[in-house]
Amino acid sequence: MVDISFKKLIILFFLSSSLRTTTSLDTLSLNQSIHHGQSLVSAKGTFEVGFFSPGNSRGRYLGMWYKNLTPLTVVWVANRETPLHNNLGVLKLNENGVLEILNGKNYAIWSSNASNRPANNSISAQLLDYGNLVLKNSANNILWQSFDYPSDTFLPGMKLGWNLVTGQNKFYSSWKSSNDPAKGDYSVNIDIRGYPQIVVMKGSVIRLRIGSWNGQTFTGYPIQPLKQKQRYEFVMTDKEVYHWYELIDSSGVQIYALSPLGNLHALAWTSETSDRIVIETGMEDSCDSYAMCGANSVCNMDENVPKCECLKEMKLPDTSSSWYNKTMSLLECQKACMKNCSCTAYTNADIRNGGSGCLLWIDDLFDMRTFSQWGQDLYIKVPSSELDDVNVNGNKNQRQQLIRITVSVIISGFLTCACIIISIKIVAPRVYHLASFQWRKKYFRLKKEEPDLPIFSFPIIVKATGNFSSRNKLGEGGFGPVYKGTLIGGKEVAIKRNSKMSDQGLEEFKNEVLLIAKLQHRNLVKLLGCCIHREEKLLIYEYMPNRSLDYFIFDETRSKLLDWSKRSHIIAGVARGLLYLHQDSRLRIIHRDLKLSNILLDALMNPKISDFGLARTFCGDQVEAKTRKLVGTYGYMPPEYAVHGRYSMKSDVFSFGVIVLEIISGKKIKVFYDPEHSLNLLGHAWRLWIENMAMDLVDMHLFETINYSELLRYMHVGLLCVQEKPGDRPDMSSVTLMLNGEKLLSQPKAPGFYTGRGLPKTISPTSNEMSITTFEAR
Active site residues: 593
SS3 for 349?
A: coil
Asked if residue 732 lies in contact with residue 582, where contact means CB atoms within 8 angstroms, the answer is: yes
DSSP classification of residue 598: G
Residues pairing with 49 in the sheet: 40, 64
**Residues 405 and 369 sit within 8 Å (Cβ to Cβ):** no
- Whose CA is closest to 664, among 689, 633, 700, 635? 700
Q: Which of 764, 766, 771, 765 is nearest to 689 (CA)?
A: 771
Q: Give me the residues paired with residue 349 across strands.
A: none
Is the separation of the CB atoms in 662 and 184 below 8 Å? no
Q: How far apart are CA 395 and CA 408, in angstroms?
A: 20
How far CA 670 is from CA of 112, 178, 476, 557, 654, in Å, comes to 21, 29, 18, 20, 15
Q: Cα separation of 751 and 761, whole Å?
A: 8
Q: Are strands 180-191 and 481-486 parallel, antiparallel or unpaired?
A: unpaired
Whole-angstrom distance, CA of residue 380 vs CA of residue 360: 10
**Which of 126, 139, 62, 127 lies closest to 100, judged by CA?**
62
One DSSP character per residue, 402-418 reads HHHHHHHHHHHHHHHHH
Report which residue type is found at 645: G
Neighbours of 723 (CB within 10 A): 24
b (16+ CB within 10 A) / e for 607-642: bbbbbbbbbbbbeeeeeeeeeeebbbbbbbbbbbbb
